[in-house]
Amino acid sequence: MKTYYTPVKEINRKWYVVDADSKVLGRVASEIARRLRGKHKPTFCNFQDNGDFIVVINAGKVHLTGKKWDDKKYYHHSGYPGGISMQTAREIREKKPEELIRKAVQGMLPKNKLGRQQLKKLKIYTGSDHPHQAQQPENLDI
């Protein structure tokens, strides 16, 4: 049996709006990653980008369960000796709340060119308004 390959002209990409207000971060991120990859479509192909565009609003109001606001740590290394830095989830939410969702979704996508291409279709906004009304996005309940 041959692998089905969707021609680029036949890929239909829709726009969805996800309201992250009082939603759990991991559950929202897993559904967003699934939609960005296109795994919900019958034409899914693991080496092709046929996912949809996702607009996330109210990213600053996302929740974490338990004591993860203080226990969950994000590490970054500058490349120099002793150049490791660490931030908690609470510190990231205070400075850039949209980065919590971006980092969670990025960890669920492939770590290659295709994953970086799929991550570009994710638009995250802290407030409840976004500049993508012209694309007529549909509401996605998670």
Q: What is the pLDDT of residues 20-31, one digit of tens each?
A: 999 999 999 999
What is 8-139's CATH superfamily? Ribosomal protein L13 (3.90.1180.10)
Length of the chain: 142
Quick: pLDDT tens for 116-127: 999 999 999 999
- Segment holding 139, helix H or strand E: strand 138-139
Angle 134-140-142 from CA coordinates, rounded to 5° = 150
pLDDT value of position 5: 85
Contact 96, 104 (CB under 8 A): no
| Nearest to 15, CA basis, from 137, 141, 133, 140 | 137
* Token code pair at residue 30: 């897993």
CA distance 118 to 48: 10
Give me the chain's average pLDDT, please: 95
79, pLDDT greater than 80:
yes
Quick: pLDDT tens for 82-118: 999 999 999 999 999 999 999 999 999 999 999 999 9
Three-state secondary-structure class, residue 81: coil
3, pLDDT greater than 80:
no
pLDDT value of position 1: 76
Strand order in the sheet with 15-19: 122-124, 53-57, 15-19, 138-139
78, pLDDT greater than 80:
yes
Q: How far is CA 89 from CA 31, 46, 72, 117, in A?
A: 20, 31, 6, 26
